[in-house]
Amino acid sequence: MAENSLQRTVWVDSTAKSFHVDVKVGPFSLVGDAGPEYGGEDAGPNPYDYLMTALGTCTGMTVGLYARKMKMPLEHIRVKLTHKSIYAVDCEDCHQKDGTIEQLTREIELTGPLTDEQRQVLLGAAKKCPVAEILTHEIKIETRLVSGTAGAGASASAPH
């Protein structure tokens, strides 16, 4: 049975020798790495890049879908994302008040003969993209070790 494209398993293989990782997502192969300033070779996007990519692709898809459904004259969507750490005390609308908070900034450019009202509706749709919903709600990450053969590398069940 084929894997549902919304529920694919992600496999990440690496060694302890570098930050370089090989990623397999369904039929797609990707690479991840850290930049030289962190000891990597910058051979691919870093984990924060992939997190922003998830938010950006979801935003573009959600806005486009909503515009199509509402028959809005949207021609092009461009999403720019940046990440930085900020001090919690500088964030007026954050619950946390100590330490630092990770801030993702999402700027959305909509091209086409849209009214101001349509632009605001599409902005609202962007805020409801499923990845944004996940990132702004409580997340439970269950982590467990699975058995493997010492020195054998990746699990035999992982695709290569």
Check if the beta carbon of residue 117 is closer than 8 Å to that of residue 67.
no
Residues in the chain: 160
pLDDT computed for residue 6 by the predictor? 75
Q: Using a pLDDT cut of 90, give the percent of the chain over it.
A: 72
The mean pLDDT value for 123-151 works out to: 90
* pLDDT of 155 above 70: no
Vertex 45: Cα angle to 40 and 50 (nearest 5): 130
Q: How far is CA 80 from the centre of its chain?
A: 13
pTM of the model: 0.83
Q: Which residues contact 97 (CB under 8 A, 6 or more apart)?
A: 88, 89
Least confident of 9-13, 31-35, 122-126, 135-139: 135-139
* pLDDT of 156 above 70: no
* pLDDT of 77 above 90: yes
